[in-house]
Amino acid sequence: MKVIVDLCVVPIDVGVSVSKYVAECQKVLQDAGLEHQLHAYGTNIEGEWDDVFAAIKRCHERVHALGAPRITTTIKVGTRTDREQSMQDKIDSVTESRP
Amino acid sequence: MKVIVDLCVVPIDVGVSVSKYVAECQKVLQDAGLEHQLHAYGTNIEGEWDDVFAAIKRCHERVHALGAPRITTTIKVGTRTDREQSMQDKIDSVTESRP
Amino acid sequence: MKVIVDLCVVPIDVGVSVSKYVAECQKVLQDAGLEHQLHAYGTNIEGEWDDVFAAIKRCHERVHALGAPRITTTIKVGTRTDREQSMQDKIDSVTESRP
Amino acid sequence: MKVIVDLCVVPIDVGVSVSKYVAECQKVLQDAGLEHQLHAYGTNIEGEWDDVFAAIKRCHERVHALGAPRITTTIKVGTRTDREQSMQDKIDSVTESRP
């Protein structure tokens, strides 16, 4: 099952700046060979369900290992059976529908 | 790794009422033996990371099997290494902090 | 326009326990006279759009005033024009659909 | 109070494709003069709290007016008092922290 995910990992009690931890998650996604795109409030990821969620688990493990005692993460997950759709397809589909 | 999750599964293109699909997800969680609590905008789940996410995947599979061609799900995931905390502990902790 | 909202306010850089800040938000909702229900990963709120979002803004203002330099909040918002539905209706509707 | 928001509006019971409705929301944000950036699972918005949330309310009104009887929206909201930060600053900050 193919998924498109929006991932936002928030380490708690590591100070006001969390970018070091988010960068570590980018590295996890990179190392997993997953298509991903950082935006201003999260990262979009595209791939097989099991691969994507294994990478998200690894993000939690790595962020805890870097010193965060607590993490709260928000995930949006989209699946569909009617047709294949990539992250770029989703953006194009909105852009082409502009009134 | 223990997680507390808030899960909100939204089937798309199945009509205005989605309760049949949400009820199916309740059954999946029940069958998985996972502690869970339905609320007005989702379901809280407590358990081991792999068990909880396997159940969430099964929810998507079941909801697609029931006829939904597309699903968008929102998940909040909390993990912590400083101490064990149950769903009820979280509620108690806020209730006891009331100003 | 009536809304049902799920609100989860996360203060950042205030230590590992955030319950004091969540309790302050409960007080804001209480003082606003809004129907609300705390659960293990947020609070459900029911009311008119403007009243609910004014209260959410006040939550951010109060949590900053209590000392949090940064806040990240997750909100789910439901509106419908086909019929009135309360938070309890949503729960009942799923419970009655159990397979 | 300045906010950075991630907005994902999901119209329910309008068929499997929702891009027409998302495009309408883009137009609302455009007309409101708000800085915004579409991504594969939502739209990031930057502006004053009241302006951004007035626009989000207008999105719900417009999407209902286009025929959607029900909408479920997910919003992430960030505020901070320690310093100003734009959407691009957030992306740069992660990019520069890459391990």
Q: What is the pLDDT along chain C (99 residues), one digit of tens a residue?
A: 999 999 999 999 999 889 999 999 999 999 999 999 999 999 999 999 999 999 999 999 999 999 999 999 999 999 999 999 999 999 999 999 977
Closest alpha carbon to D17 in A92, C97, C37: A92
Sheet holding B42-48, edge to edge: A35-39, A42-48, A2-12, A70-80, B70-80, B2-12, B42-48, B35-39
pLDDT (0 to 100) of residue C60 = 98
pLDDT (0 to 100) of residue B98 = 80
Q: Which residues of D touch C55 (CB under 8 A)?
A: none
> How many contacts does B have with D, using Cβ atoms within 8 A?
20
pLDDT (0 to 100) of residue D98 = 79
Tell me B15's DSSP state.
-
pLDDT (0 to 100) of residue A85 = 93
From D46's Cα to the closest Cα of chain B, the distance in A is 22
Rounded CA Rg of chain D: 15
Confidence of residue B48 (pLDDT cuts 50, 70, 90): very high
Average pLDDT over residues D62-88: 96
The answer to whether the CB of D5 falls within 8 A of the CB of D90 is: no
Q: What residues does D46 pair with on adjacent strands? A: D4, D35
Question: Coil, helix or strand for D9?
Answer: strand
pLDDT in tens, D5-37: 999 999 999 998 899 999 999 999 999 999 999
Q: Do A13 and C16 lie within an 8 Å CB cutoff? A: yes
pLDDT at residue D60 greater than cutoff 80? yes
Find, in chain B, the residue whose alpha carbon is nearest to that of D70: B16
Element (H, E) at D34: none
Instruction: Report the 10 Å Cβ neighbour count for B67.
Output: 12
Identify the chains in contact with A, defined as 3+ C-beta pairs within 8 A.
B, C, D
Average pLDDT over residues B10-26: 94
Question: Coil, helix or strand for A73?
Answer: strand
Find, in chain B, the residue whose alpha carbon is nearest to that of C85: B40
CA distances for C4 relative to B98, D64, D83, angstroms: 23, 16, 32
pLDDT (0 to 100) of residue D44 = 98
pLDDT at residue A99 greater than cutoff 90? no
Closest alpha carbon to C6 in B8, B91, A77: B8
Q: Do A16 and C15 lie within an 8 Å CB cutoff? A: no
Q: Do B99 and C19 lie within an 8 Å CB cutoff? A: no
The residue behind tokens 């709290």 is D49
Reported ipTM: the value is: 0.95
Domain count, chain D: 1
DSSP E strands, chain B: 2-12, 35-39, 42-48, 70-80
Confidence of residue D42 (pLDDT cuts 50, 70, 90): very high
C12 → closest Cβ in A16, A69, A74? A16
Q: Which long-range contacts (CB under 8 A, 24 or more apart) does C20-26 make?
A: C20/B97, C20/B99, C20/C66, C21/C63, C21/C66, C21/C68, C22/B94, C22/B97, C23/B94, C23/B95, C23/B97, C23/B98, C23/B99, C24/B99, C24/C59, C24/C62, C24/C63, C24/C66, C25/C59, C25/C62, C25/C63, C26/B94, C26/B98
Identify the chains in contact with B, defined as 3+ C-beta pairs within 8 A.
A, C, D
pLDDT (0 to 100) of residue A96 = 92
Q: Do B16 and D74 lie within an 8 Å CB cutoff? A: no
pLDDT in tens, A1-23: 999 999 999 999 999 889 999 99
From B87's Cα to the closest Cα of chain C, the distance in A is 5
Confidence of residue A98 (pLDDT cuts 50, 70, 90): confident
Average pLDDT over residues D66-73: 97
CATH number, domain with residue A42: 3.30.70.930
Please give the Cα distance from D31 to D25 (Å, whole number).
10
Tell me D33's DSSP state.
T
Which domain, by its residues, includes B53? 2-97
Q: Which residues of A touch D88 (CB under 8 A)?
A: 40
From A66's Cα to the closest Cα of chain B, the distance in A is 12
Substitution target in A6, A14, A22, A72 with the highest count of C β-carbons within 10 Å is A72
Q: Phi and psi at residue D85, in whole multiples of 5°?
A: -150, 125
Closest alpha carbon to B12 in B73, B79, B89: B73
The answer to whether the CB of C76 falls within 8 A of the CB of C6 is: yes
From B29's Cα to the closest Cα of chain A, the distance in A is 18
Question: Coil, helix or strand for C2?
Answer: strand
Closest alpha carbon to C43 in B89, B84, B40: B40
pLDDT at residue D86 greater than cutoff 80? yes
